Chains A and B, each alone.
Chain A
Amino acid sequence: MKAAAIEAPQRYKRYLTWIFFVVLIVVCAIQTEVTPYQLIVGLPQMGTLLAEMVPPDWSYLPTIWKPMVETIQIALVGTMLGGILAIPFALLCAYNVMPNRAVSVPVRLILNLVRTVPDLLFAAIFVAIFGIGPFAGMLAIMFFSFGLIAKLTFEAIESIDPGPLEAMTAVGANKIQLIMFGVLPQAMPHYMSYLLYAFEVNVRAASVLGLVGAGGIGLLLDRSLGLFRYDRAAIIILLTLVIVLVIDYGSTILRRKLL
């Protein structure tokens, strides 16, 4: 009986949703002049591009090794600094640590604002301030991972077991003691795992920061593509792929040990 009552409106709603989707797609396609025809014309060009990438220019490998290492260093330092910065902010905006909404709500707002700014935009702004180089990239990664880690960590803090906190409050612990012995031990494994996750994301992000002049491998990629050296671009992409895979694999193992 109940199922029948739900059935009818659901079907009608489903049709409406599909019609809405189709109309949306058609309008969007007309607006940007994206047509299947273009795709069919473009695909062979894509094929020639890929064909020019083989064989990759292996002799270029020693040249790109140093920028690749720099990319990892940017990601490492940026993630760590952003992660450290994230701890006080995460504590400030978790409702169970900071019940005072006048503090936690504005801090949350700041975090949300930071997370809406794309990492490349951060990088472009820092390049303007600090000049071209890896330092600007590191700062961009730092702000980017700060937003990410702080958000994930405060959610983890809010979901901790309230028992130990209540017990500590009952015996008269102050706020600092509460955080040190009640909150941090419970939230630490989650925080470390988010740090690792942010590092994985950041290695990928750092590999394109060079496009706006913020150091790392992206600069060389941009240059080889600009010079139509697709064989060199191919080796850069391959190396990035290998590094990212190795780091992903390593951090998956580490994370499994943590949690």
Chain B
Amino acid sequence: MNTLTTKPLWYRLRPWVWIILLIAVYLWAFNGLNFEGVQSTAKSVSLSIIDGFAHPDWDYVYDPEGEDLLRGLLDTLIISILGTFVSAFLCIPFAFWAAANISRLRAISGTGKVVLSVIRVFPEMIVAILFIKAVGPGSFAGVLALGVHSVGMLAKLYSESIETIDPGPSEALTAAGASKLQVLWFAVLPQVIPQFLSYSLYRFEINMRSATTLGLVGAGGIGTPLLFALQMRNWNRVGVILLGIIILVVLTDLISGWIRKRIV
């Protein structure tokens, strides 16, 4: 009992200070949102959205000529496959740069890690917009955006798996007089490739989700027709596109999960 009462005042006050601080932060945040009330059209719009989702525009699924859902989804799928592929290769040098056990100097891997976290903090939409400005709107910008953005996370995961490899084989190769490149090729890569593939698949799942919205800024895929449908308040079409996105995402998750289980 005695020990409880003799605790410094700060320790007893600390939880309350935290709670008051949190409440203050949230009051400030709520104030900033200046909620202007529900719009007068909200009810009718909501009803037509629900109606649209209940009656998807099935004619849009396949249209022999011109844009349709299946083509949009295929485009999205391809963007995420190519984007993942680009980043899976692009990030290998970054991964070796950032892995602490590859370079002797701590500073080298340290700078590599900083570079990767800088790449990671850029939202991919911003990367996508930059690439659209550079190579024009379309799937190519989407592929580049996913490819460059994913390097940040993928190279970090890659470098972590490089750091956890068994040093035995590379020591043995070095002792037998292998060059640095030979050590990499015969001792390091065989150990890390299964993990690289598994992380790439995981990233592919994330990219799939991003690819569905890349089109909202003009980087190809299903997002572009989705944006048009949203702007024209064509809720039946939005409904069918949303359904398509959900099916595609669930399917790719299932397939890549199945492949990943077999790799590891």
Contact = CB atoms under 8 A, between A and B. Distances in A.
Given A77-B29, A205-B123, A211 B216 contact: yes
Given A116-B250, A120-B216, A208-B126, A77 B209 contact: no
Interface of A: prevailing SS: helix
Interface stretch (B77-85, B155-163, B169-177): B77-85
A34 B123 contact: no
A28 B139 CA distance: 11
Interface of B is mostly: helix
A138 interface: yes
B85 A25 contact: yes
A239 B135 CA distance: 25
A225 interface: yes
Contacts of B213: 118-121
Interface stretch (A88-96, A129-137, A150-158, A165-173): A129-137
A207 interface: yes
Contacts of A207: 123, 126
A74 B33 contact: yes
Given A128-B45, A135-B36, A208-B123, A225 B81 contact: no
B183 interface: no
Interface string A11-44: 0000000000100110011011110001101110
Interface residues of B, number: 58
B212 A80 contact: no
Interface in B31-59: 32-36, 38-39, 42, 45-46, 49
18 contacts: A25-B81, A28-B78, A31-B78, A32-B143, A34-B140, A41-B135, A69-B32, A118-B209, A121-B213, A124-B216, A125-B238, A128-B233, A130-B38, A130-B42, A131-B39, A208-B126, A237-B126, A240-B123
Interface of A: 21, 24-25, 28-29, 31-34, 38-39, 41-43, 45-46, 49, 69-70, 72-74, 76-77, 80, 112-113, 116-121, 124-125, 128-131, 133-135, 138, 204-205, 207-208, 211-212, 218, 221-222, 225, 237, 240-241, 244-245, 248
